[in-house]
């Protein structure tokens, strides 16, 4: 298990490279936020978690299988990880952050482009929801045109 790293994993690097190539800017593992999210996008007030299917217990995924040896340990470990993930997401939500979870299996070559395009769609929709109304605000008062008289 010493070879398992929590940062700069291959799935995380796939997401980061795609975001950067498409003009999205972010910070990594922000120390002031609970759970130190993998990717923090302050402009969108969004945290992105790139989770491994095995370590975070992705239900219904073929990559999430409990090992046959020391089964109790692994079941408890994955359950603790799930509970921690839920606690962290709740804290971030209460702080006004949105949380997006991308699973390792969603970044396999067949699904990768669809997953990342849907991420971009979600981020743009969030941005327009938050700032679009301010950008395209229509004044309530009727303004007279220069050619009109009162």
pLDDT band at residue 102, thresholds of 50, 70 and 90?
A: very high
- pTM greater than the 0.75 cutoff: yes
What is Dmax (Cα atoms) for the chain? 87
Per the CB < 8 A criterion, the answer to whether 39 and 48 are in contact is yes
DSSP 130: I
Residue 127's closest CA among 44, 24, 39, 27? 44
Interior/surface letters 63-80, b for 16+ CB within 10 angstroms, e for the rest: ebeeeeeeeeebeeebee
Q: Is 29 exposed, middle or buried (0-12, 13-18, 19+ CB in 10 A)?
A: middle
- At the fourth CATH level, the homologous superfamily of domain 10-126 is VSR Endonuclease (3.40.960.10)
Q: Return the CA Rg of the chain.
A: 21
Q: Is the pLDDT of residue 69 over 80?
A: yes
pLDDT per residue as tens digits for the range 23-53: 999 999 888 999 999 999 998 999 999 999 9
pLDDT, position 126:
83
Q: Taking residues 100-109, what's their average pLDDT?
A: 93
Return the domain boundaries, the chain: 10-126
């Amino acid at each position: 298990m010493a070879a398992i790293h929590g940062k700069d994993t291959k799935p995380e690097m796939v997401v980061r490279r795609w975001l950067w190539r498409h003009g999205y800017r972010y910070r990594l593992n922000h120390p002031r936020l609970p759970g130190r999210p993998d990717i923090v996008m302050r402009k969108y007030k969004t945290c992105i978690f790139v989770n491994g299917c095995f370590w975070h217990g992705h239900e219904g995924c073929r990559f999430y299988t409990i090992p046959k040896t020391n089964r109790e340990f692994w079941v408890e470990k994955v359950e603790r990880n799930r509970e921690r993930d839920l606690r962290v997401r709740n804290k971030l939500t209460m702080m006004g952050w949105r949380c997006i979870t991308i699973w390792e299996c969603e970044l396999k070559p067949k699904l990768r482009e669809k997953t990342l395009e849907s991420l971009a769609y979600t981020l743009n929709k969030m941005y327009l929801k938050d700032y679009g109304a301010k950008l395209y605000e229509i004044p309530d008062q009727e303004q007279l045109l220069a050619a009109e008289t009162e």
